[in-house]
Amino acid sequence: MLLKYIKSKNISRREIQGLLTLGLLGVLGGILNKVVRTWPRLWGNDLGLSIRTFDILALLGIGYSIKILWGPIFSLKLPKWIPFSPRRFWLSMHLIAFSILFTIVSFCTVFSGTTFFLCTALLFMLDGNYSMLVIACQKDTIFGSFRGLPESFCLNGYRAGMTMAVSGALFFSECAWSWPLLYHCLAGGCMVMALSILFLSGFNSLDLAPIQTFKGINYNFLSPIKELFQRPQIRKIFLVVMLYRVGDHLWTPNQELFFLHMGFSKQQYSMQDVWNFWGSSLGIFISGYCIQKFSVFRVMRWGLMGQMIVFSGLFVSSFGASFEVLSCLCILQRVLLNFSLTSIFAFQIMTVNLGQAVTQLSIFTALAHINSQLVSSCSGWLIMHFGWSGMILVSTLACVPALLCMLYVAKDNCFSSTP
């Protein structure tokens, strides 16, 4: 069905290759995202650490936003002695750096010692850089006015990678694999993928990205940011995106621990996460279709209202519910979360210019991420003082300001006409 849909849109073979590359980059991004953010929580949970301890990860996660300082470098023309395009070269270098840091972390004691915290902060920074590069690759793979398909492929890849990282880690840790061994295996995988991106022809679509020559700090770094903020609606766009992420980032950091707390075994949640992936994929493709039929902004509103309903269901279930009810709510939450995220990514990508994608996305996503990490740092505190039900209730209420803001700015003709 998907192949018939692609043929009906007259998408060329080169563009199909680009879509597949986006999907694979998304898989890598999803794995890395969960390894950086979730594996330490699961590792610490196995050791019996307090959930409040994990809030330090959110504060370290602010390192994700440091990318605004050097984001433009990733689009600059490389010296002649480097025979690769900037997008291809920097993606590989980041994966090599991931490999080195994962190896170091595997020899550390979790949540103990300067080395662990320094490596974790650097991993958050690398994750921010990598995700920024992948989002820029989506901008490179645009098909005229056609939107939704690159985001769908990439986000589906992300969700597949996240599923592999979480369910795989839970399954193997249940089978007596140590967490250091899992980090060792992932370090080797990152090195293999780094070399593949550099030398395999299947990644040639990465060479299509615009390349900038260095013409000074003002031209390459400051002008793209100035141009972004000169747009009349940009402040409203920032406000919508930042508010939109608050409720999600209260819930997401500890969502796996919630279901384990509610009685799921590791293997049960491992299987649940496979179903979650199919729910995520469904939400992504429905969102991609709706973006074509309706405005991106309208899809964002629908997704947020749906998430509020599911959060309400999770709140009631936190007082006691059957395995089947919790499983269905978990899947439905993933459907609606990814329905929303696809529109968020499309909204961000539409906002930036092609030649300045990395620079503008770096400032856009970095500022939005700072408030997300600050919010995440309160999640464990809320659970310790008000329980899981209190944290989920706050997550539900945190969606209200974003919804009111979206209803307000929807009166702006600029938003109502957003494609």
Q: Mean pLDDT in runs of 10 for the chain (419 residues)?
A: 49 70 88 91 88 82 69 79 88 94 92 90 87 77 57 78 87 85 93 92 79 73 72 72 78 85 85 83 80 77 85 88 87 83 71 65 68 77 87 87 79 53
Backbone angles phi, psi at 76, to 5 degrees: -75, 150
| Residue partners of 226: CB distance under 8 A and separation at least 6 | none
Task: Copy the structure tokens of residue 300.
Answer: 């964002």
Q: How many domains does the chain have?
A: 1
CATH code of the domain containing 309: 1.20.1250.20
pLDDT of residue 412: 63
Q: Which domain, by its residues, includes 239?
A: 2-416
* Encoded amino acid at 323, one letter: F
Cα 67–Cα 255–Cα 301 angle in degrees, nearest 5: 70
pLDDT of residue 2: 47
Q: Nearest Cα to 85, choosing from 188, 211, 192?
A: 211
Task: Note the pTM of the prediction, 2 decimals.
Answer: 0.75
306 vs 304: CA distance, rounded Å: 5
Across 36-179, the runs of DSSP E, i.e. the strands, are none
Task: Copy the structure tokens of residue 254.
Answer: 């500890």
Q: Nearest Cα to 72, choosing from 215, 237, 239?
A: 215
